[in-house]
Amino acid sequence: MLPDQRRELILSFTEKNGFASLQQLAEVTQASESTIRRDLEVLDGIGQVRRTRGGIAYVGESLTAFEDRTTRALAQKQKIAKSVAELVQPGDSVLLDGGTTTLEVARHLANRPLQVVTNSLPIAQLLMNSLQTELILIGGYLYPKTGVALGPLAVEALRTIRVRHLILSVGGITEEGMFNSNTLLVEAEQKMLETAEQVIVAVDSGKFGHHALAKVCDLDRPDHVFVDSGLSPEWREKLRSSGVDYTVVE
């Protein structure tokens, strides 16, 4: 079992029960207690659980499936996606990651004369019948719940890709940088950052001020950030002072 799968199982079990002992988690995951302790350090560090005497208590948000995440902040994501898609010109090459906001971007790119590269099965299914779109699907380990191809095969394929735009979604943004909830996902996204002339992050305002499992990049790494009007004045000032080029979509 991969570390991310094991940690997801730990979170799922602890969320359901409210509390889990070290022995219970070792039995559920079929892993050693020393391995579980390392997992708990990671999960405690990102605020998903709180260490207690003999185990952990659940305090975080659940790791939900892609289908569930698509309905969260949907109106905001749709507005952001429309603005992002307007940057893309006929004939451009675009790399889309597997986020729910990038799925909304893909809806606006359908039936346009473009070259679209993605590691997302939902995005590929959306665009596969778009006759004007040249679709390139990055393969690899298809991660459960998300339908995103990850792992060494995906990373190796991305080494050969060069595109005009990378459109990226993230699970959390703090002053430390941009984060996502899966280390395999972050590994692929970090390789994506090397492929593009222009890096665009599309993210709803609810992600600001929150960490996720692993850091994707520094706050000022993207060329442009698109966010909805719910972004707080404090975060608008933080982006400005950090030199981040951003657009608030009304």
Q: 17 with 88, same domain?
A: no
pLDDT per residue over 179-192, tens digit each? 987 778 889 999 99
- Which pLDDT belongs to residue 62? 46
Reduce the DSSP state of residue 67 to 3 states and report it. Answer: helix
Q: 51 with 103, same domain?
A: no
Per-residue pLDDT at 150 exceeds 70: yes
- Which pLDDT belongs to residue 19? 78
The pLDDT mean for the chain works out to 88
Q: 36 with 123, same domain?
A: no
Q: 123 with 152, same domain?
A: yes
Reduce the DSSP state of residue 11 to 3 states and report it. Answer: helix
Per-residue pLDDT at 67 exceeds 80: no
The count of structural domains within the chain is: 2
- CA nearest neighbour of 109 among 128, 132, 131, 85: 85
- Which pLDDT belongs to residue 57? 79
Q: 48 with 90, same domain?
A: no
Q: 42 with 131, same domain?
A: no
Q: 154 with 199, same domain?
A: yes
- Which pLDDT belongs to residue 134? 96
- Which pLDDT belongs to residue 247? 96
Which CATH number characterizes residue 54's domain?
Answer: 1.10.10.10
Domain span at residue 38 reads: 3-58
